[in-house]
Structure 1
Amino acid sequence: MHATADGRLIAFHDATLDRVTDSGGRIAELPWSRVREARVAGSVPLPLFEELLEEFPEARRNVDLKAEAALLPLVDLIRRTRSWDRVCVGSFNESRVARAQRLAGPRLATSYGVRGVLALRLRSLGVWAPLRRGAVCVQVPEARNGVRVVDRRFVAAAHARGLKVHVWTVNDADRMAALVDLGVDGIMTDRIATLRSVLTERGVWA
């Protein structure tokens, strides 16, 4: 999630337009009138986050708060559209998410950042570590730099604190099945059909 120079929220990964669009420049330095002209693959415009909320009112969204400039516009948009139960805010920057939580109040759904994940992992191993209050989930890779993050103890530690466990990004059917068997609550994937097949086999596709 990035914000344009005039405060419009863009559902876009990169801080610049250069890598995947036919335009260029830093989003934070450009007005929406300029950003809206950019196209991915020659024809696909960049969506405003507000448009996605309006177009898909039943969908729930994970938002990676990638820039400080997006913080206030995002909180304002969630409050204005009453999207408290449809948006979960996360970031590798734990302080940024904590600021969003303070601004929006307890109704804002957030996930833990790096510090929170580390603290939860330590607690799963029996080592006490401080955890920020207010998060509803933890969103993690299955492993990081050769170190396993998600195992049965990690899932149990999260569930004991009322946290959902979402794992990213898993594209292999066997790994999906193993994670379902561990009791994770969500899997992020590039292969939706594969995930649906695994969940159907496990009897958990709704």
Structure 2
Amino acid sequence: MKQVPYLDAPGPLGFAHRGGAAAGDENTTAAFARAAGLGYRYIETDTHATADGVAVVFHDDTLERLLGRPGRMIDLRWSDLATERIGGAAAVPRLDEVLAAHPDIRFNIDAKTEHAVAPTVEVVQRLNAHDRVLLASFSSARLRRLRTLAGPTVATSMGMREVAGLFAAYQVGRRYTPAETVVAVQIPPRYGRIALATAKFVDYAHRCGLQVHLWTIDDPDQIGLFLDLGVDGIMTDHIEVLRDVYIKRGIWP
């Protein structure tokens, strides 16, 4: 598999999904601090950008679920967003603040919109965080733009079209060559009726030089099952559950 600084920690990796969303908050400074306090060294998160181009850590396109108000992130300037609260307490954090606050944490960053691409990459470059971020997106087109702007030193995962291409190559026994900076395929266990997390597919991805990371797995028995299949990382909302499974297996860092 590809040897890059982002993946040089002992595996299998444990990712706190949105900082550990099961606790009731997500993508907040408190959530990230909680995950780091439990020993997590990998955190999955999301970025949007404000109307004036500030990269912020936030998942949804709209504000209703997390901020309790109508509107979209792209319609707010940072000066307006800075006064908002999630659950009456934690403000929506800026990406640069989060990366600066956790210099020892590696972040898996999903750019949720086209508008977020350039601001996200600008923060990575300004903070010289190339070795400790992996850029992700469901959109393969958005990932191509992320790769172009970020350059060859920033690790990336695969978009949906790329995952489909990888799986199609696996089915016919053809070798798949990923883009230069792709180091991992990040997938759910199933996509519709198709089982993706199988021992044979994991082995195939490894032979293509890729790690396999699964999202989002919260049940301890399933976590153990997928570890036995040889996956390289698991993302979870229930960060205590995954940590306990890893501890019992002697693989918690």
TM-score class, shorter-chain normalisation, is: over 0.9
Aligned to 2:241: 194
- Which residue pairs with 1:9 in the alignment? 55
Name the stretch that deviates more: 135-144 or 155-164: 155-164
Work out which of the residue numbers 76, 84, 87 in structure 2 matches 1:30: 76
Whole-Å separation in 1 of the counterparts to 2:237 and 2:123? 28
State the TM-score, normalizing by the size of structure 1: 0.94
Q: Are 2:207 and 1:160 equivalent residues in the alignment? A: yes
Report what 2:26 is aligned to. none
> Partner of 1:178 in structure 2?
225
Q: Which residue of 2 aligns with 1:75?
A: 121
- Structure 1 CA distance for aligned equivalents of residues 126 and 219 of structure 2: 39
CA–CA distance in structure 1, aligned partners of residues 161 and 174 of structure 2: 13
Unaligned runs of 5+ in 1: none
Q: Number of aligned pairs? A: 206
Secondary structure in 1 aligned to 2:131? coil
**1:120/1:154 contact within 8 Å kept:** no
**Secondary structure at 2:218 match in 1:** coil
Partner of 1:51: 97
Q: Which runs of 4+ in 1 moved over 6 A?
A: none
Q: Does 1:87 align with 2:151?
A: no
Structure 2 runs not aligned, ≥5 long: 1-46
| Aligned residue number for residue 21 of structure 1 | 67
Q: TM-score, normalised by structure 2?
A: 0.77
Matched-pair contact (CA < 8 Å) for 2:111–2:117: yes
Per-residue deviation at 1:61?
0.8
SS of aligned partner of 2:67: coil
* Matching of residue 136 in structure 1 with residue 194 in structure 2: no
Higher RCO (CA 8 Å, separation ≥ 6 residues): 2
**Cα offset, 1:13, TM superposition:** 0.4
Q: Does 2:106 align with 1:106? A: no
Residues 123 and 129 of structure 1 are in contact (CA less than 8 Å); yes or no, is this contact kept in structure 2?
yes
Does the 8 Å contact 1:6/1:31 carry over to 2?
yes
Match of 2:39 in 1: none
Letter in 2 for 1:178: L
Q: State the one-letter code of the partner of 2:192.
A: N
On the 8 A contact 2:175/2:208 being kept in 1, the answer is no
Query: AA paired with 1:177?
Result: G
